[in-house]
Amino acid sequence: MKKILILYATAGIGHKKASMAVKEAFDELNIRDAEVTIVDSLDYTNEFFKWSYLKAYLLMVNRLPALWGFLYYLTDNFYVNLLISKLRRINNWINSCKLEKYLIDTKPDVIISTHFFASEVISDMKEEGKIDSRLITVVTDYRLHSWWIADATDMYVVAGQDAYDDLVKKWKVESSRIKILGIPIEPVFSKKPDRAKIFRDAGLKADLFTVLVVGGGFGVGPIEDIIKTVGNIAGPLQIITVCGHNEELAKKLEALKSSIKANIKVFGYVNNVYEYMDIADVLISKSGGITVSESLAKELPMIIIAPIMGQETRNSDYLIKNGAAMKIAKPEDLKEIIGYLVSHPEKMTAMKEAIRAIKKPDACYDIAKLAVDICTKKS
């Protein structure tokens, strides 16, 4: 029996969603001789470390984005990373004793890691001879940050050529240890739902330009200002907005309905955003790795608004370079850009063609098959 462990860390929703997507792919593939387990690596750390890991991240990106961006680029410098990596690893070691014990006790053949914390802990354990598991590190952004580098990683899975080049040219990783498979998203994103039924169920019209506004799992970003701007654009359009776990935001948007022209549907956290992506003409969102990959799978052009300096900026740059998205600095800019897209369908067509060239909707299946292949070779 092949023992495969999928590890993530709840630092934002994306890493967990990527891991769950791979687990769903395993379930669909129904590989009989594979025992697949999925675990939050932070569950095997002390309570304060787990609590602070997520809280510190949310504080930085929501309240101190400039500081987050500065630290992101600073720590991505080769020499700075060299100086602080030992301190980071000591900190991880202090807080990962339970995780180490779990890995030693369970002895997985292959570990799929979708967060750099787990990859670094596992890499150190492999170098120290504590485990002999094969490690697959799945990078969940479109460019590579130094924290993803774990020397004992057996295979890196990256989203595209840019991240591949980062590994080879900047971090001198052998090309044989890298596969461009994409960022794993739920299998349902590669399937085609009944669009007419979705429109009916949502109370929307199939012949109107449809704008989808998503604030990620935590409903972050200037969503209220976006709705005020888009909702009062001249011309027929309709809006779907997903607020995630931000209940306060959902209440504010419900209260806005009477003051805007467009028909708007407000949702909190939903597990069927893939349906709304399928009927939308354009997505307005931050450029997190998972959201980007989901929109690409649905061939949905993006308008990216004020991406946070760091991974979001790099994801945004990747999409714009490939002609798959547009970027604006502030919500007020949406009036002009939405008006342009409504009246220039050829631009939408060009963006969809660009998306087809870079999308990788089957990444979850490809990663599952890779893990099984590595497992077979190991045995």
| pLDDT confidence of residue 63 | 84
The DSSP-derived string for 76-94 is TSHHHHHHHHHHHHHHHHH
| pLDDT confidence of residue 114 | 98
Contact 118, 98 (CB under 8 A): no
Report the alpha-carbon angle 75-80-82, nearest 5: 110
| Cα separation, 285 vs 280, whole angstroms | 13
In angstroms, what CA-CA distances link 63 with 69, 116, 118? 12, 23, 26
| Cα separation, 228 vs 338, whole angstroms | 13
| Cα separation, 214 vs 137, whole angstroms | 27
Question: What kind and span of H or E run contains 68?
Answer: helix 65-75
Phi and psi at residue 37, in whole multiples of 5°?
Answer: -125, 140
Nearest of 32, 3, 22, 33 to residue 106 by alpha carbon: 3
Phi and psi at residue 215, in whole multiples of 5°?
Answer: -110, 20
- Domains of the chain, by residue range, sit at 2-185+361-378, 188-358
Which CATH fold would you assign to the domain 2-185+361-378? Rossmann fold (3.40.50)
Nearest of 158, 156, 142, 138 to residue 19 by alpha carbon: 138
Helix (H, G, I), strand (E, B) or coil at 268: coil
| Cα separation, 374 vs 368, whole angstroms | 10
Phi and psi at residue 299, in whole multiples of 5°?
Answer: 50, 45
| pLDDT confidence of residue 11 | 80
CB burial of residue 168 (10 Å; 0-12, 13-18, 19+): middle
Phi and psi at residue 191, in whole multiples of 5°?
Answer: -105, 160
Helix (H, G, I), strand (E, B) or coil at 140: coil
Question: Mean pLDDT per 10-residue run, the chain (379 residues)?
Answer: 94 90 95 93 93 86 88 93 89 92 97 97 96 97 96 97 97 97 96 92 94 76 88 87 87 89 90 95 94 96 92 96 94 92 94 97 97 87
* Max intra-chain CA distance, the chain: 65
Helix (H, G, I), strand (E, B) or coil at 46: coil
| pLDDT confidence of residue 219 | 55
Which CATH fold would you assign to the domain 188-358? Rossmann fold (3.40.50)
Identify the DSSP state of 3: E
